[in-house]
Homo-oligomer: A and B are copies of this chain.
Amino acid sequence: MEPTSHVSVDVLVLRYDRALRQLRLGLHERTLEPFAGWPALPGVLLLRGERIRDAAARALAKVQLTARGSGQLITFDEPSRDPRGPTLSVATWAVTDDIGTARWSGWDERPPLAFDHDRIVTDCRPLLAGMLWRDPSFTRLLTGAEFPVTDALALHQALTGAAPDRGNLNRTLATIPGLHRTDRQASTGRGRPSTIWAWSPSPTP
């Protein structure tokens, strides 16, 4: 018995799938008990002296992913959340471009998760929704360097649940510093092609 609780870092891995036009959540199929065979947020135990961001990177490595950026959300401290013993969970977000070996799931079609990870996801969603369009680095990572408004709409819908008015979303984008509309367009199949927005060169100088 250790004198203190363990600390795990669990990551909400986000990846915007341009083909599916959907924000997807990266899950890791557990191989060990408890919850063997269950999908879970990728997580690791925080090592002595390790920074949370680095632990998150290790968690991503378990599914062969590297984060473009990450950040802290909330800490969950329910003592029985892990049957192996009391373990804090520092929830973090990370954005990636790759597929890795993760199991990718839509936000709403997500299967039941191991531990209290369902709760973590539900509690953290509004936090992420609040960061979209307001936190430039988070937003930039999700959208990538360039994106059509359609993708912006899908992102907004994925995180807030409701689809915003297209016109208003356009105006919102126009007010974001470092973001500007280009004269290029993206053909999406049927319908009028969407204007492409682009970030200025240096997002985090």
Contact = CB atoms under 8 A, between A and B. Distances in A.
A90 interface: yes
Contacts of A3: 2, 47-48
A4 B75 contact: no
A64 to B, nearest CB: 25
Contact of A50 (B1, B6, B79, B90): B79
A134 to B, nearest CB: 13
Interface of A: 1-7, 45-53, 72, 74-75, 77-79, 85-86, 88, 90
Contacts of A86: 48-50
Copies of this chain, how many?
2
10 contacts: A1-B48, A3-B47, A4-B47, A5-B46, A5-B47, A46-B88, A48-B85, A48-B86, A51-B77, A72-B75
A18 to B, nearest CB: 33
B52 A79 contact: no
A200 to B, nearest CB: 26
A47 to B, nearest CB: 6
Nearest to A51: B77
A37 to B, nearest CB: 27
A46 B4 contact: yes
Contacts of A5: 7, 46-50
Contacts of A47: 3-5
A188 B7 CA distance: 50
A33 to B, nearest CB: 20
A4 B3 CA distance: 11
B90 A75 contact: yes
A78 B7 CA distance: 15
Given A2-B2, A7-B5, A7-B88, A77 B52 contact: yes
B77 A74 contact: no
Considering residues A4, A53, A90, which has the most beta carbons from chain B within 10 angstroms of its beta carbon? A4
